Amino acid sequence: MNFQLFVPEIILAGTAGLVILVDLFVERKGALAVLAVLGALAAIGYTITLWGGSATGLFGGRLAVDNFALFFKLLILGIVVVVVLATADYASKMERFQGEYYALVLTSALGMMVMSAATELITIYVGLELASISLYALVGFLKDPKSTESSLKYLLLGAVASAVMLYGMALIFGVTGQTQLSAISSAIGRLGLSGALANPALVMGVVLLLAGFGFKIATVPFHMWVPDVYEGAPTPITAYLSVGSKAAGFALVLRVFSTAFGEPGWLSQNWGMLFAILAAISMTLGNTVAIPQTNIKRMLGYSSIAQAGYLMVGLAAAGLAGGTDTLGGSGVLFFLASYALTNLGAFVAIIAITNKIGSDLIQDFSGMGRRAPLTAGVLTLCLISLIGMPPAAGFMAKFYIFSGAVQNGLLWLVIVAAINSVVSAYYYLRVVKVMWFGEPASAEPVPSSGAMRVGLAVTSLGVLFVGIAPGFLLTAAQAAARIFTS
């Protein structure tokens, strides 16, 4: 076995341990953030050198090292960097346990990286629990009643989802006798069309698995936790949940469904249509309920449910296309990367503003356009990107993911999704309106620290770059998704 391929994970685990150790000795806790960022950057650097190599396995084929996994590893590590930068100002709210905070962010990233690479059911579970348990603790980090409540809610619902998923895995194992995804696929192929559909245990297993994953990607009807947890968690962790956890969840869904249930074609057509219906419901519910929200974190929680709906349009396309998919899978990847940039940008801006005004209510953002023009500008750009308007990344992401759906005969879903984007414009623009046209509560400017400014610059330039010149990211996403096309 070639341990070189595992170096990014080792670097990340090592950094997590080092952060806790250094925490014992240094007084200035800012050093911990620097250390965490450096560790993540080192892992990014090493992962880039692995990009483009031929696909291999680790630990007897339990972890894959292919472009798909590497794409997600880079994405997750990039997210970690921005989340740590965004915490720099926020950390003052947490006097104690800053070392543990950064270490937990790193270990959950490690779990997400395992999730994106796992090709075997047990490994998937281990990765998912590593990510989840770290996040349960992070959500409750503020120790105020709201944060504690949301942590408890997340823990309980998450545990139920894990149990359901584990049950599904057990059923699938019972029917096929395999835990390796590719082996499950061939076992189902042997059952044949009538054999597989007549087997209630298998169908049940697939549905339960979907329920477990649905919790991670926050889709209807497994979305109940989202608004409360998003509202109560420390804001950087909300950002982390909304992009990191979702990205890893989609990596899992794509790999498991495309590999284990991707062949034969009739099977993937079935779950493809299932995702199409879930997508339509998820985006409609998310967007409709987001409209009356008054708390910006809660609003973005519902918005993330809607975005999961748009993402599932890509899953539906990938499913309906079967093994010949060219746009659906890569569309999900491209959308996830654009969404990560956009949502992180929005959250960094929100953290910068809420740190100063001490409120998450949208009405308190009034007049921010005058008090903090650059931060408000970045937030405006990101909200425009979330609507899906050019020249921001969100437009290209929607264009590309919708094109995959049209290619596979899902024009009705594209029309639903496009009209949903119009509905979403209403509540995203309300924030823009409050910021630029509202009267400021005071003339005092809202400064942001150097770390925040780096975060704002990276994300907003990224949003514009992907929106104007998407070719680079698109090529990478297509290279990553190519592992599913036969």
Residues that bind other proteins (CB under 8 A): 384, 387, 389-391, 395, 399-400, 402-403, 406-407, 411, 414-415, 418-419, 421-422, 425-426, 429, 433, 436-437, 469-471, 474-475, 478
What minimum distance in Å lies between the beta carbon of 389 and other proteins? 5
Which residue lies nearer to other proteins by CB, 264 or 391?
A: 391
Query: How far apart (Å, rounded) are the C-alpha atoms in residues 327 and 2?
Result: 32
Q: In angstroms, what is the minimal distance from the CB of 408 to other proteins? A: 9
Cβ 273 to other proteins shortest distance, Å: 19
Rounded least distance, CB 1 to other proteins, Å? 35
Query: Is there a cis peptide before residue 373, judged by omega within 30 degrees of 0?
Result: no
CB of 429 vs other proteins, minimal distance in Å: 7
Nearest CB to other proteins, comparing residues 275 and 402:
402
Name which of 359 and 407 has its Cβ closer to other proteins: 407
Q: Which is nearer to other proteins, 269 or 403 (CB)?
A: 403
CB nearer other proteins, residue 43 or residue 432? 432
Least Å distance, CB 435 to other proteins, is 12
> Nearer to other proteins by C-beta: 343 or 380?
380
**In this structure, are residues 297 and 460 in contact, taking their beta carbons and an 8 Å threshold?**
no
Least separation in angstroms between CB 107 and other proteins: 35
Shortest Cβ 352–other proteins spacing (Å): 20
Q: Least distance (Å) from other proteins to the CB of residue 367?
A: 13
Contact 314, 331 (CB under 8 A): yes
Residue carrying the six token digits 């909304």: 242
Q: Is 295 left (phi over 0), alpha (psi -120 to 50) or beta?
A: beta
Q: Give the residue with the Cβ less far from other proteins, 311 or 416.
A: 416
* Residues 114, 421: Cα–Cα separation, whole Å: 33
Q: Which is nearer to other proteins, 186 or 475 (CB)?
A: 475
User: For residues 255 and 119, is the Cβ–Cβ distance under 8 A?
Assistant: yes
Which CB, 5 or 341, lies closer to other proteins? 341
